[in-house]
Structure 1
């Protein structure tokens, strides 16, 4: 028995994949056989699959340290909702290579569409590009078009009056960090780098077919994410862009009074892809019930029943009835 267990142990130790060695092996080049073909096939598949699910990875010590507030994940949530994409996960991690490598590998494998935010500036702690390159065994390569657009569209900086693109300098080296992108030389370049606006040099680098690398600056993040729409609309569950519908019902009843009914309702409508939500609004006279799904007609058919059972009414914006006078007793 002991001998048999030893054999099983040795077999498992040989068979189990060592993810810690993935990047080192892959970075050695794409002429390494099986690993190379797996990465390329995965990237091509990710580039074509229908987008059902999404995830957002916020990268930055400043967010975790409380220096800045993350608004990009909230914007992405609304963006996904409008397009009918199910945002399944939002994570915030530090500017740490191992953390980034682990997160993007996992998210790329589990979700159809992934966006990262932050860590692609000119300073030493902006390590998103290099970390994602390591995660998927890619090279960091100067992207010629991004570099040309940067030179053409970047505004002069008053703090660097003598800066020249024709002279090597620490300032130029720092700027070039933002256009050295994780590239798989065996794949079509246009699928790996997206430009969304003619007046903006900032590229969207797409690694492993579904990791979209965006800056953390909210105005840039929002503009670039909007610009992604034309590139993904054909891969949406609903290409017509109807998105997901939400019905909001206001109720004066406490959650405990409607809990049994909502549990029964949720079980009844789950097969139709409808989610039932209940949200207390502390300090307000009304609480909120939501019905979320893709079939708008079906959602509307549920409204009369729900309104009756929660003694509430249909509203269009949460809190719109907060200023209404209390009903006479």
Structure 2
């Protein structure tokens, strides 16, 4: 076998190494993908990237932002009117939470998993509504358990409260808590909760009302699973307040103030002034809004913020520039001229 001289071999090795280094250099010099092109990047906030945050940390950090997931095919199909999202929005406003997103999704496991993970990562306080009943399409508990690799655990305290506080339906006069039956199995679906057995159970299940057996199951530290029945949803949410207030940015629970100025002027007429005002007060944490009231003679201008004293000082200026009057409620402005325009 003929062998190449030593120098040509060295030259080949040198050329090969230089070529490889050049390829690596080109790869390194390429710009990184822009996060701005990511469809979910608009959800990000300075505290949003909680993907690696532990459930314990999420359950204790201050609450700045909130999100809500309304779950149910009946809502998307128009069979049921969703009132829970409206109540939750008012609830967050009253406590000073910045509600960032409300989503309505169907009884679909993958949709529930995706929405729950995303909102838990981006917002401090997350609530789900719906899908925790006794029937086959009530899959919220199971879906959220699967989102975090948890198993459903029959929660004995919840079962005991159910037995003590609930009564069998009149269509089940022979129902027994002690004898196996399809009806008993259906009821037990509602007490099998997504429990992380590697953590203390404290904080994973809340009973907030002595009159209700229904628990608030908390997963991943900040996802609170509530029923979709409006009466239960509102009652449990109200009962949850004592657990939230210590973590609010306003520990006294004063929340955010909204002041309304009713104006007879068209939105287009007041737009230049409001644009100027918004630019001036936004750095001070005050938002300026303008809302047309279709079919009415007066529109509304709002100031929303935490600095009540500053907002009060702005009211005379706003009234003058929009030829308006301050009202406690939009309906107050309609008492004298509530006839719709012709």
Q: Normalising by structure 1, report the TM-score.
A: 0.87
**Paired position in structure 1 for 2:38:** none
Q: Distance in 1 between matches of 2:61 and 2:243?
A: 13
Contact 1:116 1:213 in 2 (8 A): yes
- Are residue 253 (structure 1) and residue 265 (structure 2) matched? yes
Q: Distance in 2 between matches of 1:203 and 1:4?
A: 59
Q: Secondary structure at the match of 1:44?
A: helix
| Unaligned runs of at least 5 residues, structure 1 | 9-37
- Are residue 58 (structure 1) and residue 74 (structure 2) matched? no
Point out the more displaced range, 102-111 or 317-326: 317-326
**Paired position in structure 1 for 2:82:** 70
Q: Distance in 1 between matches of 2:309 and 2:165?
A: 48
Deviation at 1:4, TM superposition (A): 4.7
RMSD: 2.0
Q: Secondary structure at the match of 2:329?
A: coil
**Paired position in structure 2 for 1:297:** 309
Q: Distance in 2 between matches of 1:4 and 1:40?
A: 34
Deviation at 1:232, TM superposition (A): 0.9
Q: Secondary structure at the match of 2:332?
A: coil
Q: Secondary structure at the match of 2:314?
A: helix
Q: Distance in 1 between matches of 2:279 and 2:185?
A: 58
- Are residue 177 (structure 1) and residue 189 (structure 2) matched? yes
**Paired position in structure 1 for 2:319:** 307
Contact 2:166 2:213 in 1 (8 A): yes
Higher RCO (C-alpha under 8 Å, 6+ residues apart): 1
For residue 139 of structure 1, the aligned residue among 151, 154, 161 is: 151
Deviating beyond 3 angstroms after TM superposition, the runs of 4 or more aligned structure 1 residues are 1-5, 38-41
Q: 1:87 to 1:325 in 2, by over 3 A?
A: closer
Contact 1:39 1:208 in 2 (8 A): no
| Unaligned runs of at least 5 residues, structure 2 | 1-18, 28-49
**Paired position in structure 2 for 1:45:** 57
For residue 111 of structure 1, the aligned residue among 123, 131, 135 is: 123
Q: 1:69 to 1:162 in 2, by over 3 A?
A: same
Deviation at 1:133, TM superposition (A): 0.4
- Please tell me whether Structure 1 or Structure 2 has the larger radius of gyration of its CA atoms: 2
For residue 269 of structure 1, the aligned residue among 259, 274, 281 is: 281
Q: Secondary structure at the match of 2:100?
A: strand
Q: Distance in 1 between matches of 2:87 and 2:118?
A: 22
Number of equivalences: 297
- Are residue 83 (structure 1) and residue 95 (structure 2) matched? yes
For residue 280 of structure 1, the aligned residue among 266, 288, 292 is: 292
Q: Distance in 1 between matches of 2:183 and 2:337?
A: 62
Deviation at 1:146, TM superposition (A): 0.3
**Paired position in structure 1 for 2:160:** 148
**Paired position in structure 1 for 2:227:** 215
Q: 1:294 to 1:214 in 2, by over 3 A?
A: same
Q: Secondary structure at the match of 1:150?
A: helix
**Paired position in structure 2 for 1:227:** 239
Q: Distance in 2 between matches of 1:325 and 1:199?
A: 46
Q: Normalising by structure 2, report the TM-score.
A: 0.84
Deviation at 1:323, TM superposition (A): 2.6
Contact 1:100 1:128 in 2 (8 A): yes
